Chains A and B, each alone.
Chain A
Amino acid sequence: MPYIPHTPDEVRAMLEVIDAPSVEDLFADIPAGMRPRSFDLPKGRSEFEVIRHLESLAARNNTQMASFLGAGFYSHHIPSAVDALSGRGEFYTAYTPYQAEASQGTLQAIFEYQTAICRLMELDAANASVYDGGSALFEAMMMALRQTRRRKLVICESLSPIYRIMLSTYSANLNLDLTTISHAGGLPDFQALENAIDDQTAAIIVQNPNFFGAVLDYQRLFEQAHAKGALAILQVYPVLQSILKTPGEMGADVAVAEGQSLGLPLSFGGPYLGVMACSKGMIRQLPGRIAGRTTDVDGRTGYVLTLQAREQHIRRAKATSNICSNQALCALRAHIHMCLLGPEGLARTAEISMDNARYAAERLLEIPGVALLNDAPFGNEFAVTLPVSAFEVVNRLTAKGFLPGFPLGRYYHGMDNALLVACTEQNSREQIGILAELLRAEIATRNGGAV
């Protein structure tokens, strides 16, 4: 039997010590009436056969397309050393570091990751991770509710629609007032957001770059929130955060991010990385695990999980969150990635991605009928309106091996002709040129040949 080492002799020897006649006897507590009605599973296969089977399934996924699809999840180069180092058995087969003396590798790595995140965000503390960007946003929201003891959240509609659905799912039974302020042509309506914040508001939640790719400054909005006793939650994109105005500079109380762009493959939706950082005053509200530095009996520097009184295994129903397993290995990968790229590498990645996006915008805007959704500054992603359905364009171009972007109508009512286009350092100028040509041809066809 795979992975089970016991020989029949060893089984017999153990049964003798137990003083049981057979292994089946050890299950006597399960009455006959509770035995499985069926257990109709396939016969076990050899390692070779299973690998072959999975390879054939992998081959049925088309990952060869030139892709301009982002929408919060981006294909950046992951240096080989990230796999090599995080693939060490001492890291990935380790357990949660509750026995700190036997887990200094994991704990120091978490401590360093927390430090890197704080420096990226210019905030005071970070946790060891939560599941993904959406759950990070939910946990940030819960932090604000606990801190202010208020029940209202003001949410910008240009925050990821995927995450807004998650927030509403998690909030369903919590008696909260989630107020969504409509976007204006892919931009936050600052006046409406300001008007919506009152003395019942726990927090304002925005995203930079926003879902449409626009890069803005939320400092004034955050000042307005603070003036009313509300907190500011900012969701960011870690790669671009290496050059953009920081949550700290803007006065955010909590910053969250999807950490996938830091060394995690797209992998059809996960595992990803929920990044959370906060200001000093919010530390006790942080959910999840946190590593802290201390000393041992000989005065050596060491690391432990700390402030555990916040967590489920101590506080149970009164914990800051229910989270137990988080995404530790993903946080390790992200930290290794940040160490390999460094400030210059991350900045260059952001800049090349942004430069490619500007070139793509130029080429696409040459096509008659194609316009930018708005004229706000953008990062590496921008939205265009087309004279035809973006859904159809995506369908037709994927058949030709090009994924031109994300049809915004998927999540935004009345935006069926809008396409969200992302570039990273992995897109070449040549690819962008072909994309523009294909799009031009597609639009021309749909317009009955008129160019």
Chain B
Amino acid sequence: MKTAFQKSVPGRMATVPGEPTRRAVEMLPPELLRANPPRLPELSELDVVRHFTELSRRNFGVDANFYPLGSCTMKYNPKFTEQVAALPGFTRLHPLMGQLEDAGHHAQGALEVMYELERLLREITGMAAFTLHPMAGAHGELTGAMLIAAYHKSKGRQRTKVICPDSAHGTNPASAALAGFEVVNIESRDGIVDPEALAQALDENVAAVMLTCPNTLGLFEKHLDRIVELTHGVDALLYYDGANLNAILGKMRVGDVGFDVVHLNLHKTFGTPHGGGGPGAGPVGVAKRLEPFLPISRVVKLRDGRFFLDYDYPQSIGYVAPFYGNFGVLLKAYAYILRLGREGLIRVSENAVLAANYLRRRLEDAFEIPYNRVCMHEFVASAVRQAQNGVRALDLAKGLLDRGHHAPTVYFPLIVKECIMIEPTETESKATLDAFVDDLLELAELAQTSPETLATAPHATPVRRLDETKAARSMVLTDDAE
């Protein structure tokens, strides 16, 4: 399919403003202007509409396909939230209006959304305070790591290490490193964090331990109380990666059980769309002792019911975002929470866990399930048996694409060979789950009888298997590089 640049016709125009009274050369000296106009596409509006419509048809999306991606929580994105985020009363609001004394008066609706969302998230997680500023999960992790650093600094100590289990999502060590910490990995035992290994790794130089629960294998961290005890025993802080929150809504609150810092992924648990890779939102919740360090501004409610943005927090780490976070995403999560309410959120976790266990039981004969016990919202299968016939997790993934399902997460977490991580979420019907199982069982059968067909999958997608090695070697990153 041609690119927009290849379709460009010189002189063609789509949505351009009327001719300006003066051109650039009449307003600025030539040495400040570019020598040549940018070679952007010159297309008609219909050209553009056709081009992007055709592109969209080359994509899978939750609206059309089942996406059982472990740790991604690809649940249905409710359409009404799009409508709400598009209200002109929100979209046309300049962020600086929240900061100018009286103009804050003109942004009361937006400030209330933020205030209320923080309140709801506090109650959902049991944390003492929130910031909505981080613009993605990894950004929330970085913010959390900076809060942890500020906490220890305020105690006059210089702690340099952060502990992550080997099953942690790559963003955990990456975020800790970006905040200036050295990362120490500990090995899991029987799929979960081993308190003995943790005890060995903990010392007065550890700033924090980063966990997720359930972990990336979908297993509840059975030794959580011991982990909390050990971590707090050296006054290190316990960090919760909220990627898997979909498993525990209304069943456990991370603030209650001893986590000090938490990030949430609104684009996972709270149904905001993934957008092909963002925008997301990664609000961070903290225990009381970390509250002074939260980024500024913070939304405050005055006695007369008005809201304002308070910047007066001398111990704050500063700005992690230019303003208040991905407000348009926050709106969608807020609407989602209001829609579901208390009961709805509890049912989310119940049905997410139910669906995951259902798939696990239906697949356990054909596939190796390394930790075959009751899982939470996701579980891990391994393609080791199929690999003996030369059919790897990657080949199964491509085979699923041919059957109209997006593949589950493959090759993560790193601690399971030929890993396939499956998370159905609570929004998929039993019919969809059964169709997925049937297709995967069929693939397992093919892996036995004619493995070579899977080595060449997919066949039914707009392009077939792509040469990634060539891409990295030839580095064609724009339409001009060849």
Contacts and interface: CB of A to CB of B under 8 A. Distances in A.
Whether chains A and B associate is yes
A437 interface: no
Contacts of B23: 351
B458 A69 contact: no
A325 B344 contact: no
B34 A329 contact: no
A317 B251 contact: no
Nearest to A79: B15
Interface stretch (B120-128, B284-292, B380-388): B120-128
Interface in A46-102: 46-47, 50-51, 53-63, 65, 67, 69, 71-73, 75, 77, 79, 81, 83-85, 87-97, 99-102
B178 interface: yes
A322 B109 contact: no
Interface stretch (B57-65, B197-205, B229-237): B57-65
Nearest to B182: A317
Interface in A213-267: 215-217, 241-246, 249, 258, 265-267
B174 A269 contact: no
B51 A300 contact: no
Contact of A304 (B222, B256, B471): B471
A112 B253 CA distance: 44
Contacts of A348: 16-20
A352 B17 contact: yes
A441 interface: no
A242 B37 contact: yes
Interface string A324-356: 111111101001101111111111111110110
Most chain B CB within 10 A, of A79, A270, A345, is at A270
Contacts of A152: none
Interface stretch (A185-193, A307-315, A442-450): A307-315
Interface in A121-135: 122, 124-126, 128-129, 131-135
B310 to A, nearest CB: 15
Interface string B429-457: 11000000000000000000000000010
B254 to A, nearest CB: 10
A42 B342 contact: yes
Nearest to B141: A322
B66 to A, nearest CB: 12
B146 A172 contact: yes
Contact of B477 (A266, A283, A355): A283
B93 A17 contact: no
Nearest to A277: B478
Interface string B152-185: 0000000000000000001101111111110100
Interface stretch (A194-202, A365-373, A393-401): A393-401
Contacts of A270: 95, 135, 279, 321-329
B199 to A, nearest CB: 21
Interface string A28-56: 11110111111111111111001101111
B14 A298 contact: no
Contact of A328 (B84, B251, B276, B474): B276
A36 B251 contact: yes
A428 interface: no
Nearest to B176: A317
A401 B279 CA distance: 32
Given A2-B340, A26-B374, A338-B40, A101 B252 contact: no
B465 A26 contact: no
What is the size category of the interface that chain B forms with chain A?
Answer: 35 or more
Q: Which of A41, A118, A162 has the most CB of B within 10 A?
A: A41
A128 B55 contact: no
Given A39-B253, A42-B338, A346 B40 contact: yes
Given A43-B342, A312-B171, A342-B41, A69 B3 contact: no
Interface string B335-352: 101111111111110110
A326 B278 contact: yes
Contacts, number: 707
Interface string B70-98: 00101111101011111111111111111
Interface in A1-39: 1-6, 10-11, 13-15, 17-20, 23-24, 26-31, 33-39
A294 B464 CA distance: 12
Interface size, A (range): 35 or more
B319 interface: yes
Given A317-B176, A394-B103, A295 B344 contact: no
A2 B78 contact: yes
B24 A354 contact: yes
Interface string B32-57: 11110111111101001101110111
Contacts of B63: 89-90, 93
Contacts of A149: none
Contact of A61 (B17, B89, B224, B353): B89
Given A166-B320, A169-B318, A81 B477 contact: no
A308 B27 CA distance: 44
A330 B279 contact: yes
B302 interface: no
A47 B39 contact: no
B94 to A, nearest CB: 5
B479 interface: yes
Given A18-B361, A54-B84, A349-B17, A90 B56 contact: yes
A106 B277 CA distance: 9
Contacts of A128: 277
A39 B346 contact: yes
B365 to A, nearest CB: 12
B304 interface: no
Contact of A329 (B109, B176, B276): B276
Nearest to B267: A325
A13 B355 CA distance: 11
A61 B106 contact: yes
Contacts of B225: 31, 33-34
B295 interface: yes
Contacts of B345: 41
A268 B93 contact: yes
B38 A114 contact: no
Given A39-B253, A41-B341, A323-B138, 7 more contacts: A99-B60, A131-B136, A172-B318, A266-B91, A296-B467, A329-B279, A345-B17
Which 10 residue pairs across A and B have the least CB separation, nearest first? Answer: A44-B341, A58-B89, A269-B323, A329-B275, A169-B318, A328-B277, A173-B180, A89-B63, A60-B109, A105-B59
23 contacts: A60-B108, A84-B49, A95-B60, A100-B463, A105-B59, A118-B478, A119-B478, A132-B321, A169-B146, A243-B34, A266-B93, A267-B327, A271-B278, A290-B477, A296-B465, A298-B464, A319-B174, A328-B277, A328-B279, A342-B16, A346-B38, A348-B20, A377-B29
